[in-house]
Amino acid sequence: MRKVIYTKRAPEAVGPYSQAIEAGNTLYISGQIPVDPETGKIAEGGIREQTRQVLKNTGEILKEAGYSFENVVKSTCLLSDMDNFRDMNEVYAEFYKKDPPARAAYGVVKLPLGVMVEIETIAVKP
């Protein structure tokens, strides 16, 4: 069974995709960028603030679908500048304190709306 997940507590999609799709006991969250859903604007500050907003958005989608960060099994992090890797990691670790998920991180040429970071997430319920 396939179920579309949507919450107003995370930003609207900036293209033809869903915030997340649940298939069985697996949740696939589209790449989240650091848009504050209340203002519709990119989080002010640098990579730390942007990473924190991305993970807050991810948390709201997880919550809407009945999951938590503990259910996350895989993340893919896209960075517009790999020099931001260390700072992104430090904020990321605030959300994944114990047994963090498998992860890949890539440096990319450009991200939507000129942001510094985008993170997609996969979570599974036992």
* Strands of the 72-79 sheet, one edge to the other: 2-5, 20-23, 26-32, 117-124, 72-79, 102-107
d(C-alpha 20, C-alpha 31), whole Å: 9
Query: Rg of the chain over CA atoms, in angstroms?
Result: 14
pTM here is: 0.96
Cα→Cα distances 123→22, 27, 39, 71, 109, Å: 9, 5, 27, 5, 27
Question: 2-124: which CATH topology?
Answer: 60s Ribosomal Protein L30; Chain: A; (3.30.1330)
Helix 85-95 and helix 47-64, axial crossing angle in degrees, nearest 10? 30
d(C-alpha 87, C-alpha 48), whole Å: 6
Terminal Cα-to-Cα distance of the chain (whole angstroms): 16
Asked if 73 and 101 touch (Cβ cutoff 8 Å), the reply is: yes
Residuewise pLDDT in 10s, the chain (126 residues): 899 999 999 999 888 999 999 999 999 999 999 999 999 999 999 999 999 999 999 999 999 999 999 999 999 999 999 999 999 999 999 999 999 999 999 999 999 999 999 999 999 998
